[in-house]
Structure 1
Amino acid sequence: MAARTTSRSSRPVAGVAWDEVALAPVVLVHGAEHVLVERAVQRLRSLAREAQPELEVVEVEASTYQAGMLAVETSPSLFAEHRLVLVRGAEALTDALITDVLAYVGTPAADVWLVVEHRGGQRGKKLLDGLRQAGVPVAACEPIKKDSDKASFVSAEFRRGGRRVEAGAVRALVEALGTDLRELASACDQLMADTTGTVTEATVSTYYGGRVEATGFRVADAAVAGERAQAVALLRHALATGVDPVPIVAVLALKLRQLAKVAAMRGRGGVSASELGLAPWQVDRARKDLQRWTPEGLAAAITAVADADAEVKGQGRDPVFAVERAVLRICAASRG
């Protein structure tokens, strides 16, 4: 069992990645990305079971917790079995739980691992601050927003599953399902369960090709490449299948921001993809796309998307017309 940490510090302990936190007598799993919270808890359970195959797992609901329950669940076992006590939903905790957990942290039981799960929000701040000041390890499970981080998540999912995945397949999955991390994780599980060998871009296309082609990402790629006919066809298909103009405009803006970021780094050595907030494949794609763009053209395209953004959010009468006009202006701004 990991060594006990009982010293207190006035400085909060920074969290570590959810898949890197070590098993300890008390661990806080904290963040608003519920998929990562679940992954972190499952990982800690697996680590505990590896250490103690006869592990007993006890779950305690924070919202219904009553004073003294933690003492009962962490008291010495009749058969000297190790236990993992999981406090679920500490974002909806009772005052009694705060008192009991903070009292327990100073002298944790020798045969117990306590995992406190908190899924974000301000409620329970006293508990969170107390655990951090006590030096408790924190598994950080904050929402994943950058495409580069989503790509890293997908790659890690396949790595944990013992499978190889092509960079193009990772990109295709993020483009198709990247708005929902749970759906992205489920897709990784499905592909690993239903296929063998290396997961390729063609494999992803077989399972999720329709989703990819109907998204704003394909529209944006075609527009930036100056492929007017394809961009308009993809746009109309996306709109016909129920995709709202607002997220399409958002993707167009994202694509152009990526081009602008990479363009600004031209001639500046030593700048990594991570510093730009992009995945390496996104930087490579942007560099290739930029061969078709002048600074003036890029500025005109960004202006077109800004105008469309205002129109689809209420300043225009026809959001569909606004987004189609923006796509045409982007294609025109490209050197084609």
Structure 2
Amino acid sequence: MVGKAVAGKSVADNAAAGNAAPKSAAKTAKVIVSIPQLGWDRIRPAQVVLVSGTEDFLAERAIRMLREILRAEDPSLEISDLGADDYGPGELITLASPSLFGEPRLIRVSGVEKCTDAFIAETLQYLESPADDTYVVLRHGGGVRGKKLLDAIRGGLGNGIEIVCTELKKDSEKLDFAAAEFAAENRRITSGALGALTSAFSDDLAELAAACQQLMADASAEITEVTVEKYYSGRVETNAFRVADVAIAGRRGDALILLRHALASGADPVPIVAAFASKLRTMAKISGARGGSGQLAQQFGLAPWQVDRARRDLQGWDDRGLGRCIELLAQTDAAIKGAGRDPVFVLERLVGVISTRGTT
């Protein structure tokens, strides 16, 4: 820092060195995080809880979990909600002021990524000396707005914690999330059923969580692929991965019916081809590979169930047929993205060739 002496140098020397540094250095300097950064499922009470990240569903669940923890500790918990985007001067201090009967307070603040200048200034002031028995939860959905406040919290002001709720983008992350839902209730689900359920609801984490809860509420025995199809047959059947699974299994007629149903339901050809590509790439990786499911999963960056599924899918295939299908897949991908005139025709041709395991 400018003007601060370093061993062996004078204050003037340090000042000169500080003045010579480029201005951009201060802007790019990273803030040292000195507070705990936890996953959504490890939330715990703290006087200040920063809930950051773009995954709203996980953020909402984490905040709800904190509310239940605090209520279990003291049923008289007083809950208040505050919008940082339309914040009025003095609101936070008013809500955090001791009540007549001294109940603990939970203040949930939304929209911190769109907060007003007044909110930033007053929250920074509040964090200098947070109120006793008061828990302030700040929900920041991403972006640079409010960075000064976030940096201060992460630097230790308020002695808080951060709950990081990043979007689950990888299939393996969504699979782990669904598996954890069942494990939390000590319920058993087969790997095939878990994969089918995750694929069917891969676009919406909230829907995936709701589907898991419904299956656990309604199904009494172990949850299998039959159970998943019974409850979500419409969702599963129109899913791109379902079309790919049936074609790879050699059921040409069923695969074409599912394909046409998916297209009639508004499915886009691009993700359908992407589903085939994902399946065939995994099969190509596992083809000829030796080792256990866990070992190969780690080697190729897959989940163990994906290795097991690829091995089942490869039954009846040979390298020549797999190679031909991969070549046709590349041609189909180009055709549906503008190189061809009839995406439905090339998709049906792809399904036909894959259904015969590349022999026609």
Same fold, TM exceeding 0.5?
yes
* 2:26 alignment partner in structure 1: none
Cα pair 1:146 1:277 within 8 Å, conserved: no
* 2:123 alignment partner in structure 1: 101
SS at match of 1:53: coil
1:229-261 CA distances to partner (integer Å, 9 max, x unpaired)? Answer: 333332223223332212211211221232244
* 1:258 alignment partner in structure 2: 282
2:335 aligned with 1:311: yes
Q: Write the distance in 1 (CA, Å) between the matches of 2:262 and 2:322.
A: 24
- Which of these residues, 346, 351, 356, is aligned with residue 322 of structure 1? 346
Cα gap change, 1:210 to 1:97, in 2 (>3 Å): same
Cα pair 1:232 1:327 within 8 Å, conserved: yes
Q: CA deviation at 1:291?
A: 4.5
Q: Write the distance in 2 (CA, Å) between the matches of 1:139 and 1:11.
A: 16
Q: CA deviation at 1:334?
A: 4.5
Which residues in structure 2 correspond to 1:1-336 (within 5 Å)? 10-12=31-33, 15-134=37-156, 136-161=160-185, 163-263=187-287, 266=290, 271=295, 273=297, 276-332=300-356, 334=358
Q: Write the distance in 1 (CA, Å) between the matches of 2:316 and 2:149.
A: 54
Cα gap change, 1:97 to 1:317, in 2 (>3 Å): same
Q: Write the distance in 2 (CA, Å) between the matches of 1:327 and 1:124.
A: 51
Cα pair 1:147 1:278 within 8 Å, conserved: no
Q: Write the distance in 2 (CA, Å) between the matches of 1:121 and 1:264.
A: 46
Cα gap change, 1:236 to 1:46, in 2 (>3 Å): same
Q: CA deviation at 1:84?
A: 0.8
Larger Rg: 2
Mean Cα displacement is larger for which, 180-189 or 299-308?
299-308
Identity of aligned residues (%): 49
Output the TM-score relative to the length of structure 1: 0.86
Aligned length: 328
Q: CA deviation at 1:83?
A: 0.7
Mean Cα displacement is larger for which, 127-136 or 104-113?
127-136
Cα gap change, 1:270 to 1:202, in 2 (>3 Å): closer
Q: CA deviation at 1:285?
A: 0.6
* 1:4 alignment partner in structure 2: none
Cα gap change, 1:89 to 1:233, in 2 (>3 Å): same
Which residue identity does 2:331 align to in structure 1?
A: D
Output the TM-score relative to the length of structure 2: 0.80
SS at match of 1:287: helix
Cα pair 2:107 2:134 within 8 Å, conserved: yes
Q: Write the distance in 1 (CA, Å) between the matches of 2:212 and 2:61.
A: 14
Q: CA deviation at 1:263?
A: 4.5
Mean Cα displacement is larger for which, 54-63 or 318-327?
318-327
RMSD, aligned α-carbons: 2.8
Q: Write the distance in 2 (CA, Å) between the matches of 1:295 and 1:15.
A: 47
Q: Write the distance in 1 (CA, Å) between the matches of 2:212 and 2:201.
A: 11
Which residue identity does 1:11 align to in structure 2?
A: I
